Structure 1
């Protein structure tokens, strides 16, 4: 480049356009053209060629590529004769800087506009999330008589979220003379119908296209995966290979996702072997998909091994591993990896933040949970529906229900997951009336509740002591909402009735429950243990043993009942059965945060955390408490 700059003055004056155009072409090929572009531009000004429209346009384009917006604007204003290409570049500067107000002003001031001008405005609105403005601009474009290009339609298709509007756009494409021979338009339509779940339309477009490429296959396979058609996705992949089309890393990632959704580990291993053969195994897109596969197929060791052996630590890989840890209950590992990713300047995605917020709700104290919330706000994902739902859940688990309600009320769009999270949060915090009120708002919004919604409402009735409301909702589950009661619904309604003292009614429901039901709260058995009628206790515990044979709780309740009544032979018989059966013990767990570190303690695990010293200190504290509360005892001891 420096040698070219030192060319003879004769060449400059004889062929100035060719000379400077060649220099600019060389600058475009550089990774960082800013340094050389300014040097060439200075020479252009020195020789008074900066007013040439062609060279001026090239420099505007060069500055735009290098990210020098102010230099691009300065080069534009230096041009005395501006053509439509100059104005398009000038418009593109503001679009690239996401200043759509100024871009619109420039667009309105343009003396001439072509399809590139309209496309710049439409793509700018789409990139900024102003979808309605993009659609309005498209209507203006058609009314002005400018024919859309393939770029226009591919940009608009990318922001379609409604099936009817997508079909209208497809018809508009056909009316404007575009057929499926245009790969850009055809691929965009396949991707659109795949995202909308209209797989039949996507397949129809694909097989109508006279020529397809790897993007066409990727769009079809990915669309099948997103719509729940994993087996057809694998079938299309086999067809792709059979017809001689070469797969890329995006193809392999989509196929691994199909195996993940099917939880087909054997097929996933075969795909991984193929990835290794094709040289894609250490591609981060493929590696992250493989980590998801191992995570959902309960092969945590393989996921960790693959992550540790990866040479590249980027956003896709770290996000997948964070989600893997969180999904498998390793919350501390997820948070540690998240902090490490932040130190490596890896920007978290909304999915990552959702996993981290969920981990914080389980493992971190509320103060640090608020710090995670601040990070969400700083990252700009507070308005994301998934992240907002996670924040609602986090504050609900912390007991900060007012904060959860504040975030929920400020959500722009609420899906069923958001409503369910809020209902559950209120229920767990004993806000039964508020939970029922939110349920009424859900019904008024037009959304149909699912089994999780009704679980939350029945739980609210349980904690709130509302047996009549709980029974009314339980009785109307199949009639009004078409939902067959599941394990948890039976458990909550039985618990609610027993808390209200209607033991006989609760046992009647208990005896009619399906044998598959196995989720019961401890309070059902605890309440049963305090009954005076031993026959009733035996009926309930026997039923519980049938429903959940591995649980030790029914045996403990029954043994306690026999012991209180002096039935020693029956007590010995129950204990012998417990010794022979592989019963499942309920292990309690608690944790405490000290100096930014959380210490977890499981039942009978104190010895692993210096338990002897802890118990010794607790014993000394108890002695001091007893001495303060009983000063006479101190006198006796001294005597």
Structure 2
């Protein structure tokens, strides 16, 4: 380094000397004195060793500075024929470091130096430059160099094909693939995997079949895995089975990568049993294989088997990783399985999980979705640097659990933390405003998405703002936004508008929203039921009959309302008027007594949304045994006094049940949580966390 400093000082002095007014003889003397030492240095190979040492110490920018300084010095003192050029190994080391650091600009400097110094790179150095340009994201420079290369080998072609294929420029990749004089397994695999990666599985399989017909090509584990991924993406089980047979014939049936891809193919083609069979045959089952198999069960909707398989993993002695935990916790969130989620949390705590991992974020998400916002916040507070997923999960959790002001408070904290919100975060924020009835605040946040945060409004954002305005009865503003939307309104927006029309009895706009929904999803019974409810409230029974006839004509069946509750790790499911439960007599008897007591407290049945044009007494009878009331009653008689009760429902809870459960919570002195398809309702001492605004 001392020499490098002397060299720079010497060069600087020479520039100062050239800049002064001096006699030609003194200038010549300075030049001669300077060049004597420079010749000695450059001919002694000290330069190469210094650059090499800098490369070994990862100081590649300083090494490139020396290279560039030498170039400028050569030009200044005109010693092009006397100074030795850097060796091939020096260039190779510099290129490798530029690649490792993804330092494109420095790589260009090295390339420029080879040209300026007159160095003629062979195919080895050219391929290094190609690889560096491709991996630094400059395909233009790579293609330019490729075109200028006098000699190209198989590696040159493969580098370019792989580079284009990885970024989705498949036409350019295929053109090069077709032009190349010879191909190896890497060539075929790069092209096939490129098609798979960019959602062209049919082209991938077509090329794979062509490869099998090629005399000099043999499948390896990477080609096979890509072909299996293509079969899974279509999905085509018959093709997957053909590839399975080929695997057995060529002797790749002992490779773990191939077995994993094969298991994944069977699962995605709907044959989970075959996937499990493949998994059981694997000799070296690592945590990745286990995690993938657990995920396959959850993807296939086989929750219990997925959880059981996770328990089997924990007994196997293999330690789950953060992806395993995240997958299981997300499944717990989707199925509201908080008890199992708590067990997973306990296991994570015992083995010492990373508080900044995916798993920590999944914990916040799980507790939020299960209605335990206190635990969600506790986990969140234990994270040294919460990521955006955790912030968003907590914000959405507070919004859905009837604490919109807390949701907005945490959103402001998110902004102060320097974390940039994304589109999903704003869905939570707008939902919080909707649940709290904060109309003007919601509109302000809606406009800030684009104006302040530079994000694009999504269909979900529009659905949220229409929901906000429609619930408040501000239909003129809602229609104005719909008319100015840059995209076509989706089913969620029209459903939000229809829901607002139900609240405020806006018949004309309800018809428009319903007609739009009938076009988008004519088989969805929710639209028919909501429209019929609106007509029923208005006493328009002939219109109700027309809606019911339309459902019959189109064979649309109303989705039955289901409610369930977990007691001592067993799930109990109830339908409206259900008498199939072993404790049906006790449930109905207790519910009858409760009905009398809540009437004494002031409860009046809300029969506005009972569809049948029957006597009022019959309407009240129909309401008395809704599924959520049966589940709540069962929960009360099956648990000790004071125990909180948590009920889940697949549909939105009705107004009458909502009112009745408020009274029940006061009479039995219990906290009753009902999670419907829309949000959580926490009933306590006669009131609900939603503030009767849902």
Q: Indicate the TM-score class for this superposition, using the shorter chain for normalisation.
A: 0.5 to 0.7
Match of 1:327 in 2: 400
- Indicate whether 1:510 and 2:612 are aligned: no
Alignment of 1:4-43 (within 5 A): 4=54, 20-28=91-99, 30-34=100-104, 37-38=107-108, 40-43=110-113
Match of 1:441 in 2: 519
Alignment partner of 1:326: what SS?
A: helix
Which whole-Å CA distance do the structure 2 matches of 1:82 and 1:94 have between them? 17
Alignment of 1:481-496 (within 5 A): 481-483=556-558, 494-495=607-608
| Offset from partner CA, 1:502-527 (integer Å, 9 cap, x none) | 9x83415414415223999xxxxxxx
Which whole-Å CA distance do the structure 2 matches of 1:257 and 1:82 have between them? 50
Would the alpha carbon gap of residues 470 and 198 (structure 1) be closer, same or farther in structure 2, given more than 3 Å must change?
A: farther
Greater RCO, CA 8 A, separation 6+ = 2
**Aligned residue-pair number:** 519
1:87 deviation in Å? 2.6
Alignment partner of 2:614: what SS?
A: helix
- Indicate whether 1:3 and 2:53 are aligned: yes
1:458 deviation in Å? 2.2
Match of 1:358 in 2: 431
Q: Which region of structure 1 is more displaced relative to structure 2, 343-352 or 168-177?
A: 343-352
1:217 deviation in Å? 0.4
Would the alpha carbon gap of residues 13 and 587 (structure 1) be closer, same or farther in structure 2, given more than 3 Å must change?
A: closer
Asked if the contact 2:202–2:230 (Cα under 8 Å) also holds between the matched residues in 1, the reply is no
Would the alpha carbon gap of residues 469 and 104 (structure 1) be closer, same or farther in structure 2, given more than 3 Å must change?
A: farther
Which of 203, 206, 230 aligns to 1:139? It is 206
Q: Which region of structure 1 is more displaced relative to structure 2, 252-261 or 422-431?
A: 422-431
Which of 210, 224, 244 aligns to 2:297? It is 224
- Indicate whether 1:548 and 2:660 are aligned: yes
Alignment of 1:83-102 (within 5 A): 83-95=153-165, 98-100=168-170, 102=172
Normalising by structure 1, what TM-score? 0.65
Asked if the contact 1:263–1:297 (Cα under 8 Å) also holds between the matched residues in 2, the reply is yes
1:287 deviation in Å? 0.8
Structure 2: unaligned runs, 5 residues or longer: 1-50, 56-62, 71-82, 564-575, 578-603, 630-655, 665-683
Match of 1:467 in 2: 541
1:170 deviation in Å? 1.8
Alignment of 1:64-463 (within 5 A): 64-95=134-165, 98-100=168-170, 102-103=172-173, 106-107=176-177, 110-124=180-194, 127-128=197-198, 131=199, 133-143=200-210, 145=213, 150-152=221-223, 154-155=225-226, 165-177=235-247, 180-191=253-264, 198-261=271-334, 263-335=336-408, 337-338=410-411, 341=414, 351-362=424-435, 363-365=438-440, 367-368=443-444, 370-371=446-447, 374=450, 379=455, 382=458, 393=467, 397=471, 399=475, 400-401=478-479, 403-404=481-482, 410=488, 420-421=495-496, 423-424=498-499, 427=502, 429-430=506-507, 431-438=509-516, 440-441=518-519, 444=522, 448-450=523-525, 452-462=526-536
1:167 deviation in Å? 1.6
Asked if the contact 1:50–1:78 (Cα under 8 Å) also holds between the matched residues in 2, the reply is no
1:81 deviation in Å? 1.2
Match of 1:58 in 2: 128
1:300 deviation in Å? 1.7
1:173 deviation in Å? 2.4
Would the alpha carbon gap of residues 113 and 45 (structure 1) be closer, same or farther in structure 2, given more than 3 Å must change?
A: same
Would the alpha carbon gap of residues 332 and 104 (structure 1) be closer, same or farther in structure 2, given more than 3 Å must change?
A: farther
Would the alpha carbon gap of residues 22 and 187 (structure 1) be closer, same or farther in structure 2, given more than 3 Å must change?
A: same
Would the alpha carbon gap of residues 154 and 345 (structure 1) be closer, same or farther in structure 2, given more than 3 Å must change?
A: farther
Alignment partner of 1:302: what SS?
A: helix
Which whole-Å CA distance do the structure 2 matches of 1:495 and 1:59 have between them? 75
Asked if the contact 1:395–1:404 (Cα under 8 Å) also holds between the matched residues in 2, the reply is no
Which whole-Å CA distance do the structure 1 matches of 2:194 and 2:104 have between them? 24
Match of 1:559 in 2: none
Pairwise CA RMSD: 5.0
Alignment partner of 1:292: what SS?
A: helix
Normalising by structure 2, what TM-score? 0.61
Which whole-Å CA distance do the structure 1 matches of 2:197 and 2:238 have between them? 22
Which whole-Å CA distance do the structure 1 matches of 2:224 and 2:499 have between them? 43
Would the alpha carbon gap of residues 79 and 62 (structure 1) be closer, same or farther in structure 2, given more than 3 Å must change?
A: same
Match of 1:558 in 2: none
Asked if the contact 2:396–2:432 (Cα under 8 Å) also holds between the matched residues in 1, the reply is no
